[in-house]
Amino acid sequence: MHIPDELAERLRRANHVGVLTGAGTSAESGVPTFRDALTGLWAQYDPQELATPEAFARQPQLVWDWYAWRRELVARATPNPGHFALAELESRAPQFTLITQNVDGLHQRAGSRNVIELHGNLARVKCSRDDRVVASWPETGERPPHCPDCGALLRPDVVWFGENLPPAALSQAVRAARTADFFLTIGTSGIVQPAASLPLEAAQAGALTVEINPDATPLSRWADYALRGPSGVLLPALLAAAWPELNSA
Ligand code: OAD
């Protein structure tokens, strides 16, 4: 796909690049998205059944096992060219903030450093009573295991439906959206709040906004440019258009 010259030029000259990513960014790594009809995890499982505090209270083992399955799937996956292009972009932009809704850690594995995780991380476990992150626990074979400090059930350190986002991460993300002069929205269906309002914040604060997604979303109307296609192809193409010397590297 041809990247418009003006877009490439604006990226090259940007002072603060802000990025919001969603599950589509990891699709080409083989990590199923949440809402795509055929491959989405939740085509097989009803998210309302699994990703809620109520479900955990009702069926803790089912919820624990589902996250364990996702954790293994992600551990076997590797970052794709889109993740690597974002890490490269971070090394080129004067200021760069990557806000992700993903809990898979693939951005960090690709080399991204300034990453704000809005929805937590699958790899971490916390106490369901006081939210303290727990690094290890006695292996008794129980699923879920129990907190070594207080005995409550352990749970994944991810945000479930109906729960608040980590306040520090959210305020950092809002600040980044408001101060970015170039804002990329990649691989998100744009329907889960408050993440979905970040591109709007950026647009209202005057950033040039770009969406990368094979499909249109409710966020598309806020985008100055909509690049339609997979991020694993379009992000490297965008970088190569902004920094042509990358082509010969
Ligand atoms: P979704 O599954 O809702 O949306 C995935 C988006 O990625 C869709 O818009 C697809 O069109 C797009 N997509 C698919 N393949 C792509 C590709 N190769 N390149 C680029 N885009 C592609 O995932 P999210 O928007 O991330 O929250 O979902 C938001 C939140 O909903 C998740 O973080 C999760 C879920 O509830 C929590 O768990 C709290």
Helix (H) or strand (E) run with residue 227 in it: strand 225-227
**Smallest Cα–Cα separation from 113: which of 101, 132, 96, 125?**
96
Q: If you measure from the C-alpha of residue 237 to the centroid of ligand 1, how many angstroms do you get, rounded to a whole number? A: 21
Catalytic residues: 119
Q: How many helices, marked H, and strands, marked E, lie in the chain?
A: 10, 9
Task: Select from 26, 189, 220 the residue to mutate for testing ligand 1; criterion: most ligand atoms less than 8 Å from CB.
Answer: 189
Ligand 1 binding residues, C-beta < 6 A: 22-24, 27-28, 33-36, 40, 51, 101, 119, 159, 187-189, 192, 212-215, 217, 230-232
**Smallest Cα–Cα separation from 198: which of 14, 12, 19?**
19
> Using CA positions, which residue lies closest to atom 35 of ligand 1?
34
* Burial class (CB within 10 angstroms; exposed 0-12, middle 13-18, buried 19+) of 22: buried
Residue in the block written with tokens 């990247």 = 3
Which structure tokens are listed for 185?
A: 């929205």
CB contact set of 97 (below 8 Å; sequence gap of 6+): 16, 17, 18, 19, 114, 116, 172, 173, 176, 180
What's the first-to-final CA gap in the chain, in angstroms? 20
Question: Cα 231 vs. chain centroid, distance in angstroms?
Answer: 13
Q: If you measure from the C-alpha of residue 136 to the centroid of ligand 1, how many angstroms do you get, rounded to a whole number? A: 31
DSSP for 15-51 reads SEEEEEE-GGGGGGGT---SS-TTT-HHHHS-HHHHS
One pLDDT digit (tens) per residue for the chain, 249 residues: 789 999 999 999 999 999 999 999 999 999 988 776 556 655 677 666 788 999 999 999 999 988 998 899 899 999 999 999 999 999 999 999 999 999 999 999 999 999 999 999 999 999 999 999 999 998 899 999 999 999 999 999 999 999 999 999 999 999 999 999 999 999 999 999 999 999 999 999 999 999 999 999 999 999 999 999 999 999 999 999 999 988 765
Axis crossing angle, helix 231-242 with helix 5-13, rounded to the nearest 10: 70
